[in-house]
Amino acid sequence: MEAPIRPDTLRLDGVRKSYGVGTPVETEVLHGIDLRVAPGEFAALVGPSGGGKSTLLNLIGLLDQPTHGKVRIRGVETDKLGDAERTVLRGRTIGFVFQYHYLLPAFTALENVMMPMLASRGRPGGGMEERAAALLDEVGLTPWKDHKANDISGGQQQRVAVARALAMNPALVLADEPTGNLDTNSADGVFDVLRAVNEASGTTFLIVTHDPRLAQRCDRIIELVDGRIVSDRPNANVVRRSGAVFSESARRIS
Ligand code: ADP
């Protein structure tokens, strides 16, 4: 018997997106995107501002729907889902990291990481606290877990945001300029953490970045210009680091 084929984490076929549909200012900003991302990939999405990266990420994150074409997440045809089903699929499958961390400032790092679990389950318990603590350990923040989100550095806040994105054990993490607000050192530290998670758990990452230095550390670079993918190539220069080196750098607090 043949082994079952694992579906792509992400598959887009002929995806088009227009804004202002039915109005005089209707504008198509994505012009037929075909894209496949396999489980465990660590890919960068690059391109000039206004090229459609955020629009594409919103469609992939099930925050918006294409005007034409199909978005499949782990083989599920998302256009066939109702709003409630899309919300469930998003919550169970996709983690988000944004340029700004959006942590709740009056809550501790640990509580912030527990939020998605609480929202999903409705009440504390069931090992949530232990899981949140383990995730904070993974991003090198154990000593800061009981600090309020307001009282830690920008790099540390973004690490908490990464741990929170992982709370529901997503197959896919979408990161939109996750290091855009950070200095070079902190950016490197956060990027190391993303990579370490990818290598340790096989989580798929799609990372929008303007920083060519960081894009060069991804396995694949997808370039979007004026609503079209103009290049999509494996990155031959990438150096995969061993878990040991990563766990060390993940613990270098920035
Ligand atoms: P990027 O993330 O690459 O900077 P965007 O996806 O933000 O690109 O934008 C792509 C194009 O879509 C731009 O021309 C932008 O002005 C337009 N756009 C983005 N969001 C909207 C919206 N909600 N309504 C109308 N036009 C939009």
Q: Which residue has a Cα nearest atom 16 of ligand 1?
A: 50
CA distance 112 to 132: 9
- Residue 5: the pLDDT is 75
At residue 9, does pLDDT exceed 90?
A: yes
Mutate to test the pocket of ligand 1, among 23, 54, 99 (most ligand atoms within 8 A of CB): 54
Say what the pTM is.
Answer: 0.90
49 CB near ligand 1 (under 6 Å)? yes
Neighbours of 22 (CB within 10 A): 6
Q: How far is the CA of 13 from the centre of ligand 1 (A)?
A: 20
At residue 224, does pLDDT exceed 90?
A: yes
From the CA of 47, give the closest atom in ligand 1.
3
Q: How far is the CA of 190 from the centre of ligand 1 (A)?
A: 27
At residue 254, does pLDDT exceed 60?
A: no
- Residue 243: the pLDDT is 41
29 CB near ligand 1 (under 6 Å)? yes
19 CB near ligand 1 (under 6 Å)? yes
53 CB near ligand 1 (under 6 Å)? yes
- Residue 241: the pLDDT is 53
- What mean pLDDT, rounded, does the chain reach? 90
Q: Using pLDDT thresholds of 50, 70 and 90, give the confidence band for residue 1.
A: low
23 CB near ligand 1 (under 6 Å)? no
Q: Which residue has a Cα nearest atom 5 of ligand 1?
A: 52
140 CB near ligand 1 (under 6 Å)? no
Lowest-confidence pick of 72-81, 220-229, 233-242: 233-242
- Residue 237: the pLDDT is 77
At residue 2, does pLDDT exceed 90?
A: no
Tens digit of each residue's pLDDT (9 = 90 or more) over 167-215: 999 999 999 999 988 899 989 989 999 999 999 999 999 999 988 889 9
Tens digit of each residue's pLDDT (9 = 90 or more) over 116-165: 998 888 887 889 999 999 999 999 999 999 999 999 999 999 999 999 99
- Residue 119: the pLDDT is 86
17 CB near ligand 1 (under 6 Å)? no
108 CB near ligand 1 (under 6 Å)? no
- Residue 251: the pLDDT is 36
- Residue 59: the pLDDT is 98
Share of the chain above pLDDT 70, in %: 92
Q: Which residue has a Cα nearest atom 12 of ligand 1?
A: 29
